[in-house]
Amino acid sequence: MNTLNRKPKKLDADFIKNSVSPLDYYHHELSKAKLKKHGWNDGGLCPFHADNHAGSFHVNVVTGAFKCFACGAAGSDIIAFTMALYGLKFVEALEQLANDWGLV
């Protein structure tokens, strides 16, 4: 089979979420945070406000959810994180994730 034919015509959010591990994703995006393999982790300094002390920003490496208790930034998955961090629309975030993680 020609692998080019496997490219989905429209990027699907479930496909992205099933293909990219939140743990791997946050290891990449939050390279300074020491992440464990389960549940909610201290995500280090919050990327959504001028954070200068750790402890308020948390990510869930199983579901991809994130939450900052200082500025209120929050979302339910890595797509929401990508949108918020890079100022992207939903479809743009899917495209960026697909490109970054070799899914296209």
Residues of this chain that interact with Zn ion (CB under 5 A) are: 46, 48-49, 68, 70-71, 73
CA separation for the pair 92, 30 (Å, rounded): 20
Q: Closer to Zn ion at the Cβ: 16 or 41?
A: 41
Q: Cα-flanking dihedrals φ and ψ of residue 41, to 5°?
A: -125, 150
Closest to 97 (Cα-Cα) out of 5, 45, 25: 25
Q: Whole-number minimum distance, CB 55 to Zn ion, in Å?
A: 11
Reported as type and span, the H/E element at residue 81 is: helix 78-86
Q: Closer to Zn ion at the Cβ: 48 or 101?
A: 48
What's the distance, CA 69 to chain centroid? 18
Q: Whole-number minimum distance, CB 88 to Zn ion, in Å?
A: 18
Q: Closer to Zn ion at the Cβ: 22 or 44?
A: 44
User: Please, which residues have CB within 8 angstroms of residue 56's CB and are 6 or more apart in sequence?
Assistant: 46, 68, 69, 70, 71
Q: Closer to Zn ion at the Cβ: 73 or 97?
A: 73
Q: Whole-number minimum distance, CB 34 to Zn ion, in Å?
A: 19
Q: Whole-number minimum distance, CB 98 to Zn ion, in Å?
A: 27
